[in-house]
Amino acid sequence: MPGLYKDEAVVLKTIKLGEADRILTLMTRSHGKVRAVAKGVRKTKSRWGGRLEPFTRVDLMLYKGRKDLDTITSADILTSFDAVKKDYSRLTAAAALADIVDKITPDRERAFSTYALLVGGLQALADDKGGTVVPAFLVKLLSICGYHPELKFCAGCGDSGRLGGFSPSLGGVVCEDCYEEDESAMRMPVERIALLSRLLASEFGERASKEETEAVTSALRRYAEFHLERPLKSLHLLAVP
C-alpha cells in the first residue's frame, strides 16, 4: 500500500530522468533494494545538494507508490565517504561493491546482513584498508547470499589433498585431478586458497601483493558471473593500488 516510510540507505547508482530528476537505486537497511525518484535533484538550486550521490549513506523519508518506484521526500547524510570519492582506486572499488550488491540482491527483500556488509566495505575503503577490500567483500557477500565457495575441500570430489585450482562451475577449489578434467577451472596455488580463506574469515584489512589481489579478485569475479549469469563490468575496470 502507498504511504510514507523511513529508512537508511546507501546510494548504489543514479540515472537521469527527464530534465531535472534522477532515479536512485538504494540498498536500504530494512526494505532491501529499492528504486526511488529524487525530484528536482539536477536543478542548479536543488534542495538536495550533494546528499544523494552514489556511495553516500543517508537517512531517508520515502513515499511508497503503487508501482515499483518510490519517491524520496527528505534526505540527510549519515556518512559521506568523501575519502572514497576523492581517490580513483577507492572510487572504482566502491563502484565494484555497489555493482555486485545491485546484481545479487532481489528487489524489496530485507537483507540487513548485505546492507551492513556494504557499509563495512565502504568504511574499509574510506579507512584505506588496502587493495584486498574488494575480494574480501566479494567472498563474504557471495557466502551470505547463498553462493558460498568451497575453500577447504575439492568441490569436485571432496578430497582435501593436492588442492591447486579453482572452478566456478564446480563451486570452489579443486584438486589436481578435477582441475585437469575441468576446462573452465583456473590455476590457484595453495597460498592463494589460504588468502581467500582469510579474507572470508577475517575483518577487512588483509594485506597482499597486487599480483595476489588481482588473481583472487579475478577468480571471484568469474565465480560470481558464472552463478549470477550476469557480467560485473565494474570489476573489469577496477584499479588495484
Amino acid occupying residue 131:
G
pLDDT at 1: 52
| Residue in the block written with cell 572504482 | 92
The answer to whether 196 touches 223, Cβ cutoff 8 Å, is: no
Helix (H) / strand (E) containing 221 = helix 210-228
Along the 241 residues of the chain, how does pLDDT read in single tens digits?
Answer: 568 999 999 999 999 998 889 999 999 999 999 999 999 888 867 777 788 999 999 999 999 977 889 999 999 999 999 999 999 999 999 999 999 999 999 999 999 999 999 999 999 999 999 999 999 999 999 999 999 999 999 999 999 989 999 999 999 999 999 999 999 999 999 999 999 999 999 999 999 999 999 999 999 999 999 999 999 999 988 866 6
**Res 67: pLDDT:** 80
- What pLDDT was estimated at residue 125? 97
- For the chain, the maximum distance between any two Cα atoms, rounded to a whole number of angstroms, is 64
Torsion of CA 202, 117, 152, 104, to 10 degrees: -160
First to last CA, the chain: 47
C-alpha cell at position 189: 596455488
Nearest alpha-carbon partner for 137 in 98, 86, 82? 98
Which own/partner contact pairs does 78-86 have at CB distance under 8 Å and 24+ positions apart? 78/8, 79/119, 79/122, 79/123, 80/50, 80/56, 81/55, 81/56, 81/57, 81/122, 81/123, 81/125, 81/126, 82/126, 83/125, 83/126, 83/128, 84/55, 84/122, 84/125, 84/126, 85/53, 85/55
Tell me the domain boundaries of the chain.
Answer: 3-80, 83-236
CATH architecture of the domain with residue range 3-80: Beta Barrel (2.40)
CB atoms within 10 A of CB 81: 22
CATH of the structural domain 83-236, one choice from 3.40.470.10, 1.10.10.10, 3.90.1150.10, 1.20.1440.120: 1.20.1440.120
